[in-house]
Amino acid sequence: MGKTNKVLIVVTNGRQLEDGPIAGVWWSEVAEPIEEFKAQGLEVTIASPKGGEALVDPASLKDAGEHAEHHYKKWLSSTTELKKAKTQDYDAIFLAGGHGAMFDFPHDVHLQNLLTDFVTAGKPIGAVCHGVAGLVGAKLDTSNPLVENKRLTGFTNAEEANSPLQSKLPFLLETKLKQLEAHFDAGPDFAEHVVVDGGLVTGQNPASSRAAARAVAELIGMQKPLEHRQGRVPGGVNE
């Protein structure tokens, strides 16, 4: 039997904000990628900066279906501590979103080192929505920002303006990425939009979760062509 390809999904541990709301994982941004990767025959490990429980944004569970609570307990109640993850054990890394990622992803040294190693190894990196915040602190082995001159997307300032958590965030994701000289490609608000630039796959918002995961799955095992792949992933993933 051949080797089973593996994907490391990284989620925020989340946090309870001072006035009550939870900034955590946005449910569909981890559930849909897990479903997509497994449908592609990939093995999934879920990790977080601290390990253990990853808090879910309650708002993201409202339309999640009757099985969401069961899957939440199975997938997010006991995540692997990120520092235990080794690049050589995985074929791709995928950063799930949710507002919590804005707080613990950008400054996590273990995540930064992993991302540098994935780039060096020519392995795909995926991120969706606020998970793209994990790219903010990452650097290439040349010490240049990982996102510098990369074409990408993420949760836009226009989309964030509709969020009740906007004023509580440490920064606006679109603004920060542009400051790092990324080429930010914004699609229509809250519509599916995925950008592929080499081995980097980014999805703009929750609607882009499944398509972003599918694009990462397509890149696995294609290290040589990565430098030459660039473009948007077409729609039509809402089977």
Question: For residue 50, what pLDDT is reported?
Answer: 98
| Exposed e or buried b per residue across 168-181, where buried means at least 16 C-beta atoms within 10 angstroms of its C-beta | ebeebbbebbeebe
CATH match for 6-232 among 3.40.190.10, 3.90.1150.10, 3.30.230.70, 3.40.50.880: 3.40.50.880
> Three-class SS string for 25-56?
ECCHHHHHHHHHHHHCCCEEEEEECCCECCCE
Which position has the token pair 């199975």?
Answer: 74
In contact, 148 and 181? CB cutoff 8 Å: yes
Question: For residue 19, what pLDDT is reported?
Answer: 78
Question: For residue 74, what pLDDT is reported?
Answer: 82
Question: For residue 68, what pLDDT is reported?
Answer: 72
Contacts of 125 (CB under 8 A, 6+ apart): 92, 93, 94, 95, 115, 118, 119, 135, 199, 200, 201
What would you report as the CA-atom Rg of the chain, rounded to the nearest whole angstrom?
Answer: 16
Token pair recorded at residue 157: 């300032």
Question: For residue 233, what pLDDT is reported?
Answer: 40
Q: What is the pTM of this model?
A: 0.91
Domain residue spans in the chain? Answer: 6-232
List, for the chain, all residue ranges whose pLDDT scores fall below the cut of 50: 224-239
DSSP-based three-state secondary structure for 216 = helix
Question: For residue 158, what pLDDT is reported?
Answer: 98
Question: For residue 3, what pLDDT is reported?
Answer: 81
In contact, 130 and 96? CB cutoff 8 Å: no
Give the bridge partners for 146, in sequence order: none
Question: For residue 227, what pLDDT is reported?
Answer: 38
Give the separation between CA 113 and CA 115, rounded to whole angstroms: 5
Give the separation between CA 99 and CA 25, rounded to whole angstroms: 7
DSSP-based three-state secondary structure for 110 = helix
